[in-house]
Amino acid sequence: MVPQSPATFENTIRSIFPEIWLRQLAIKTCFIKRERKIKPEVMFWVLTLGFCVYNQHTIASLKRLYEMEANISISDSSWYERFTLELVEFLHQCVIHGIEELAKEPGRKLSKKLKNFQDVLIQDSTIVRLHSSLADKFPAARSRTVAAGVKVSIMVSAIANGPKTIALYSEKTAEIKTLRIGPWIKDRILLVDLGFYKNQMFARVEENGGFFVSRIKKNTNPVVVSIEEGVPKTKCGEFLGKTVNECIEQLSGKDFDAVVKIVFKRREYKGQQKKDEMRVRLVAVYNDEDQKYHIYITNIQKDVLNAKDIAKLYGARWDIELQFKELKSRYAQDVLETKNVQIIEALIWTSMLTLIVSRRLYNFVRDSSNPEKIVRYTQLRWSTIFTEYS
């Protein structure tokens, strides 16, 4: 039998990105055509740990770090010429591979109430502001006339405890266009904010066997079809056929659980759009702090999650906000002052790789430590430790 390497931080992250695999990928993506002074595995780790962890935020400082780690001297031109479309593709494929490796780990376990679901997914985006000279390639939102920005769209998996999919768009791209629903959603719960609110999308989730939870738009006021909870049976008849806003006006801080009818238009086909309708569960939970109702729609049945469970589940969306904060405050995703598009894209994928490595090490520490101690390390706090010691 071949002896196994001891479980260390270095071996743990090498197991995700082995040197042989990195070299083969570099050749496959044409990042390396013939290896001379640039070694793909060294450059990979210099970028992944150097740019974010050692705060080497310039290409020149990364070059000096590479020379130190590889114990060689290279010209400035040789280094700058490596920041190509091929490097971008190499790093992108590394991110995809890292996500797949995270998904193989045990990761978190869903609560007993969610045991029949395969995963809980959170979709959202963050903006990385760029130099205004890149406005043609990465146009900003309409509110900004002369500006540029990249929209980094991420779907986070509760099971993998990290990103599941990552894609780059111009800031001007509508949120809903960054999310494509298909068979992959089956038996999974999708948590989305109002930027993704579209009845057509909810219908597609349900048709593909998936589940969703979303806040409801202010201008959405569906009609109540039946009452699940929150109203005495003797008074249920008074609420049927009324709009949600009319019903809430009659409530006194009690949770309201009902089925409502939503009318929407299907996607245009051969120049025609058909009207359709669907029935969804609407949950209104009174928030004492805000002194108002928080209203959600979902297709998860009441016998699986009650009204407060739905509100608590939606609160898990905060996890993706923390990941965005981690990327920007810890892994330098907002430090992109260059005008070179290839360098920008390469460094965005680099920050994602740093996040993946950090998550892998967090899981390693969690699995090999006293569970009571590791609980005290939030992932944002862990990221500080990671950047200090890795």
pLDDT of 156-208, one tens digit each? Answer: 888 877 888 899 988 888 888 899 999 999 999 999 988 889 989 999 999 99
Q: What's the CA gap between 269 and 273, in Å, rounded?
A: 6
Q: What is the CA radius of gyration of the chain?
A: 24
Distant-in-sequence, close-in-space partners of 22: CB < 8 Å, separation ≥ 6 = 40, 41, 44, 94
Could you give the CA distance from residue 340 to residue 181 in angstroms, rounded to a whole number?
Answer: 33
Does 214-298 carry CATH code 2.70.98? no
Is the pTM here over 0.85, yes or no?
Answer: no
Average pLDDT, the chain: 83
| Rounded CA separation 25/17 (Å) | 10
Supply the pLDDT for residue 17. Answer: 94
Which string of b and e fits 362-373 if b means at least 16 CB within 10 Å? bbbbbeeeeeee
The larger pLDDT score, comparing residue 389 to residue 234, is at 389
CA-closest candidate to residue 225, choices 214, 239, 211? 239
Percent of the chain scored above 90 by pLDDT? 26
What are φ and ψ of residue 90, in 5° steps?
-60, -50
Dist. CA 15–CA 260, nearest whole Å: 50
- Residues 280, 261: Cα–Cα separation, whole Å: 7
The Cα-based distances of 287 to 56, 255, 305, 329 in angstroms read 45, 10, 18, 31
Angle at 43 between CA 55 and CA 39, to 5 degrees: 155
Whether the pLDDT of residue 1 is over 50: the answer is no
Interatomic CA distance for residues 384 and 375, integer angstroms = 15
Q: Identify the band that residue 15 occupies on the pLDDT scale cut at 50, 70 and 90.
A: confident
3-state SS, 29-83, equals: CCCCCCCCCCCHHHHHHHHHHHHCCCCCCCHHHHHHHHHHHHCCCCCHHHHHCCC
CA 75 – CA 82 distance, rounded (Å):
12
Distances in Å between the alpha carbon of 178 and those of 87, 159, 195, 215, 264?
24, 22, 11, 19, 21
pLDDT tens track for 207-242: 999 999 999 988 888 888 888 776 767 677 777 888
Mean pLDDT within 247-264:
83
Identify the CA nearest to 49 among candidates 356, 324, 328, 341: 356
What's the confidence (pLDDT) of residue 163? 85
Domain boundary assignment for the chain: 9-105+337-389, 214-298
Report d(CA 354, CA 346) in Å as an integer. 12
